Amino acid sequence: MALHIKVEIVNPNDLLSGVPSSSTPQFSADTSKIIIQDSLFSSSKKTARLLQSLLMEKEPTSFVIITDSRVRRLYGQKIRELFAPIATTDLIAIPQGERSKTLDCCSEILLQLSKLKFDKNGVLVLLGGGVVGDLGGFVASIYKRGVRYVQVPTTLLAQVDSSIGGKTGVDMPWGKNQVGTIYQPLAVLIDPRFLDTLPERDILNGIGEMVKYGIIANERIFTSLQRKSEFHSLSKTLIDLIEPCCKIKARIVTEDEFEQNVRSILNYGHTVAHAIEASSNFRPNHGISVLIGMLCEGWIARQLGIFEKEDFEREEKLILRILPRRKTKALSLKETTKFVNFAFADKKNIGGKLMMSLPERIGRMHRTSEGSYKIEVPESLLKDAIVRLQSIL
């Protein structure tokens, strides 16, 4: 059965106004919910009413918050206090960063859950960015063969992309996200207030994914970003783009939950991005890597005669404006063989062939005559693209 994802904007005044319980938002059990609301976590009453709606099938025996060391300092105690009146609430913190996305870290979290006597009726609360969401979702999918979980994304990248769609997993020595599951969260609770404490590097991370959404599905998003004069701080433009990005991903995942075809367009730029990250020991930020990946894959699409020239030039001009030069100058792309090997470990590849999802114009991805969004790319063209990257970064 196809997954149904619903984007629901919750008005906190409705939750706190004392309206009858029948007016509390109700959702079907087979729906993964996305709720976007400023100051969503401003009071325990609001949180309790929302959770009562989300957990209508079965009251939780307990909550365990999984977060990282930085987010724990900023928000750990506050979120714990909001959940504690509903059920016993514990917290597990992992070291910040991509290097925590490992089987070893996963095993440690599983052990801690066991020691806490966390059971099948408990709910995990994943408070953090993409690493916490990916790793915590993987834990949720395998602990006692699956427990409920809620995503509470605190970074721009997680709010517009990684928290939605149920992809979970860990990195392996041979590549990024090589072991994992597709396991949908009960809900994704997005509060833009978390972004008030976001460092500049994490704003750029999120912008990388926003540019992707503009290219693959919505030219208006792309045009809104083109109009921005700078990309190093939060703005109303960025906040306003969260919801349209979420809607695009919800629509695509609803249509193709297990990435048989159209969901692969969400990976535009990611074949190269993941190779950059894996070959650089995960030092580059994901969003920066995606921007560089789109530079590379956009050029490949142009060489294949897929990407319209004017739109290719628009894409390249915007990405080069956004990319921080100090970071790209330090990026090493010289180990071509190592880089290509990581690219060939990408999940989209079929039968040893390098496959990419590529744009034909801003706002639309290319579809073959057979209806596939995956296009075979010669290895030689990828190597040429890497050489070109070195010349323009």
Q: Where are the alpha helices (DSSP H) in the chain?
A: 12-16, 44-54, 69-71, 77-83, 103-115, 130-142, 156-157, 200-216, 219-226, 236-255, 270-279, 286-303, 309-322, 325-329, 336-343, 379-392
* For residues 331-349, average pLDDT: 83
pLDDT at 332: 58
How big is the chain, counted in residues? Answer: 393
pLDDT at 324: 83
How many whole angstroms separate alpha carbon 252 and alpha carbon 215? Answer: 14
The verdict on whether 259 is a catalytic residue reads yes
CB contact at 8 A, 175 and 161: no
177-230 pLDDT per residue, tens? 999 999 999 999 999 999 999 998 899 999 999 999 999 999 999 999 999 989
The verdict on whether 388 is a catalytic residue reads no
pLDDT at residue 11 above 60? no
Instruction: State how far Cα 144 lies from the chain centre.
Output: 25
Residue type, 23: S
Which is the catalytic residue, given 167, 176, 247, 314? 167
Domain positions in the chain = 4-197, 200-233+260-392
**For strand 375-376 and strand 355-356, is the pairing parallel, antiparallel, or unpaired?**
antiparallel
pLDDT at residue 13 above 80? no
pLDDT at 335: 74
* For residues 38-58, average pLDDT: 80
| Cα–Cα distance list, 56 to 15, 78, 114, 123, 132 (Å) | 15, 24, 25, 13, 25
Give the pTM.
0.92
The verdict on whether 286 is a catalytic residue reads yes
pLDDT at 232: 86
Q: What confidence category does residue 33 fall into, taking pLDDT thresholds of 50, 70 and 90?
A: confident
Q: Tokens 């509903």 map to which residue?
A: 86
The verdict on whether 209 is a catalytic residue reads yes
pLDDT at 283: 85
The verdict on whether 263 is a catalytic residue reads yes
Which is the catalytic residue, given 98, 257, 259, 297? 259
pLDDT at 328: 62
Which is the catalytic residue, given 49, 212, 286, 347? 286
246-300 pLDDT per residue, tens? 999 999 998 999 999 999 999 999 999 999 999 888 888 999 999 999 999 999 9
pLDDT at 4: 54
pLDDT at residue 2 above 50? no
CATH level 3 topology of 4-197: Rossmann fold (3.40.50)
CB contact at 8 A, 188 and 34: yes
pLDDT at 15: 42
The verdict on whether 314 is a catalytic residue reads no
CATH number for the region 200-233+260-392 comes to 1.20.1090.10
